[in-house]
Amino acid sequence: MAHAGNGSHHRVVGVDVRSLRGGLDHIGGVGIYTREIVGRLLADASRESPAIRLVPFGGFRWASEAGKTLQDWAPGSPPVVTSRLPGRLLATLWRQLAWPPFESLIGRCDLLHGTDHFLPPHRCPRRIYTVHDVIVLSRPDLVLDAHRRFVEEQLPAWRREGTRFIAVSEFTRLEMIRLLGLPRERIRVIPNGVGPEFRPPDGPGDRAALDAFRAAHGLSPRFLLGVGNTNPNKNFENLLRAARIVFERTTAVDQLVLCGNQGWPEGPLRREAERLGDRLRLVSLRRAEMPRLYGAATVLVFPSLYEGFGLPVLEAMACGTPVAASHAAALRETAGDAALYYDPGDPEAIAAQTLVLLEDDAVRARLVARGRAHVGQFSWARAAHDTLEAYREALAP
């Protein structure tokens, strides 16, 4: 299949979609990006760019759901290429021997796209990396040592001739220039988007559905929401402290709901969780349920110490939920004038801005309206179109 499109009529783009191998309900921000961009490009391939053919690679044949995830999005699209070698073995071979070359799995390509910062060893002279953040370089204190070492091993490939980049925010592009000295003209900014499924509750039917959703998941009628994993950059420790302050000062909410892949490591984070007791609710939801969660929440509190974009901020705004966000990294760029900001290192400040959104109806209404207008600037369809333009640019003689 991969070789069939290598004639004179097609330019072939190999795309690494292994971030989808766990299936739609087990992906993070990178997986959401990959599904939205690659799914749209596959769905629109014949109409938008018949001269470019995508070949997605999804990892280990018997353990990858990448193909199903993309087929659900783009029925009838070409099958995802997979490997008979288990993913862990393949990763070891790539890391220790730089073998087998990527093209031996997907066929010869004119361009490769690494949707998650990096690509396997390859021979193709043209490549694009999507860079979601450079936290490893900017805030190494917030990442695990093993991850930091892996990223540092991959970075020399970024400097090779024929390498271009898509940065998901202007902040990330500036970080790449500052920390790596990469030329600005090789980095194209293409912001993430928000899908049409993220919309405010509309009418009695939606409100009844939200009530049923709250009841099904043990959520109180009014709750604070945090979204993300328990990695240090998400700053959940200070979120838990801030929630305790909020609960002491108001009865407007009585629960903090955290949604993500939570695992509570021993240490301060677990102790803070235990102090909240039954006011803390952990939920793990299917991706399709996320619009309901945002719509049911009273306020999204997003206190990250570092984000290359911050997709939950836009998704909450699209659902009509006001946002209290950290002023760090890319979040001011992502949220614009539609959020209240605070120093993420100060639980008192986090609580104070959250209380404004709970107790000042005028501020809350103003930010909800601004948020709905603001998210109109962010479209996955536009991001996919701009990605296709980046392919054409990279393929130009």
Q: Give the model confidence (pLDDT) of 119-135 as tens digits.
A: 999 999 999 999 999 99
Domains delineated in the chain? 11-193+379-395 (3.40.50.2000), 203-377 (3.40.50.2000)
CB atoms within 10 A of CB 68: 14
Q: How confident is the model at residue 312 (pLDDT cuts 50, 70, 90)?
A: very high
Whether the per-residue pLDDT at 4 is higher than 80: the answer is: no
Output the CA torsion sign for 207, 210, 215, 220: negative
Token digits for 65? Answer: 């759901």
CB 107 within 8 A of CB 55: yes
Q: How confident is the model at residue 333 (pLDDT cuts 50, 70, 90)?
A: very high
The pLDDT of residue 47 is 65
CA nearest to 235, candidates 139, 335, 333, 353: 139
Residue type, 387: T
CA nearest to 117, candidates 79, 143, 86: 143
pTM, two decimal places: 0.94
Token digits for 175? Answer: 């970080």
Whether the per-residue pLDDT at 53 is higher than 50: the answer is: yes
Distance between alpha carbon 25 and the CA centroid of its chain, in Å? 13
CA distance 268 to 274: 10
CA nearest to 308, candidates 213, 190, 391, 227: 190
pLDDT tens-place string over residues 76-100: 888 899 999 999 999 999 999 999 9
Please tell me whether residue 38 adopts helix, strand or coil conformation: helix
The pLDDT of residue 178 is 97
CA distance 347 to 331: 18
Q: Which position has the token pair 């087990």?
A: 26
CA distance 38 to 26: 17
- If you average pLDDT over every residue of the chain, what do you get? 92
CA distance 134 to 155: 11
Three-class SS of 71-114: HHHCCCCCCCEEECCCHHHHHHHHHHHCCCCCHHHHCCCCEEEE
Q: How confident is the model at residue 228 (pLDDT cuts 50, 70, 90)?
A: very high
Classify the phi-psi angles of 235: left when phi > 0, otherwise alpha if psi is within -120 to 50, otherwise beta.
Answer: left
Residues of the chain above pLDDT 70, percent:
95
Beta bridge partners of 188: 166
Specify the higher pLDDT residue, 48 or 253. Answer: 253
pLDDT tens-place string over residues 257-310: 999 866 666 678 888 888 999 999 999 899 999 999 999 999 999 999 999 999
CA distance 316 to 199: 9
